[in-house]
Chains A and B, each alone.
Chain A
Amino acid sequence: MENTNEITMEMLQKQVDALTKKVGKLEKNRKDQLAIAVVSGDLDKVLAAMVISLAAAAMDTQVKLFFSFWSLSALRDPKKHPKGKDFISKMFGIMLPTGKDKLTLSNMNMGGMGPMMIKMLMKKQNVMSLDEMFKQAGELGVEITICEMSMGLMGFKAEEMIDYPHLRYAGAATFVADAGESAMQLFI
């Protein structure tokens, strides 16, 4: 009789262990975390990504941004001039905006008039500039991951990217992992 009792306890312990593991995994799946894939390099879209990120960070939500493709232009530092690029990389470098101040609008760009007007309005209405937003994001611990593959495609070098406190380079699997454990995922 005692013997069967012992086996039951052991089985119960096993089940409890299995459940604890499962719950732990589930909790990790819905972390208070926001993952955004920032793919667009338009001023309006990068602005949207940053405003949402700042609001989330202010609400104590961990924010993880994955910058890829056109959005990389926003992370270029106009003061840095990397050497040793091949011809195509150089051409790309010249054709793409050098940094967040040079981004164009997805609508009503009007040859640069649009962004100028938006920036004027933002100032007038006390909206933070993109520069300021990145500074705040850095202070709030917003993480930025740059897509390694896009860097290669566009011919960008790590030396020409902005100085940002929480910057790293990784691949798509990193975004998938970040997004998988986040309660919120966005694609901009």
Chain B
Amino acid sequence: MTTEELKNIQSNLVVDARGTACPGPLLAAKKAIGEIESGEIMEILSADEGTKNDIPRWCDKIGHEYLGFYDEDSFSRLFLIKE
């Protein structure tokens, strides 16, 4: 997905994991994913650079569809659709 497309996404749940470093954002994502239904969109905010690599790997393994990310000033927004 392009950044423009990502910016237009209405997420069902936003998980703010900016206050924690690796593996915090991944743990936050795992805990939060139970709160949404299959097919819904989760957005993760992370200030940890490694998260951009970790979340796609996590999605790959569990089966969620990773949509992509875009950078804000001091953090990134990552998007995925729950399996």
Residues of A participating in the B interface, judged by any CB pair closer than 8 Å? 51, 54-55, 58-60, 125-128, 136, 140
Contact = CB atoms under 8 A, between A and B. Distances in A.
A140 B24 CA distance: 13
B23 interface: yes
B9 interface: no
Contact of A60 (B22, B23, B62): B62
B19 interface: yes
Interface of A is mostly: loop
Interface in B25-67: 26-27, 29-30, 47, 54, 57-58, 61-62
Nearest to B54: A55
B62 to A, nearest CB: 6
B42 to A, nearest CB: 14
18 contacts: A51-B23, A54-B26, A55-B23, A55-B26, A55-B54, A58-B27, A58-B30, A59-B30, A59-B57, A59-B62, A60-B30, A60-B61, A125-B21, A126-B20, A127-B20, A127-B21, A128-B24, A140-B27
B24 A126 contact: yes
A51 B62 contact: no
A128 B26 contact: no
A168 to B, nearest CB: 24
The 8 closest A-B pairs by CB, nearest first: A55-B23, A58-B30, A127-B21, A58-B26, A126-B21, A54-B23, A126-B20, A58-B27
A51 B19 CA distance: 17
A58 B19 CA distance: 18
B24 A59 contact: no
Contacts of A136: 27
Given A54-B27, A136-B27, A59 B21 contact: no
A54 B23 CA distance: 7
Contacts of A59: 26, 30, 57-58, 61-62
B53 to A, nearest CB: 12
Contacts of A125: 21
A51 B22 CA distance: 8
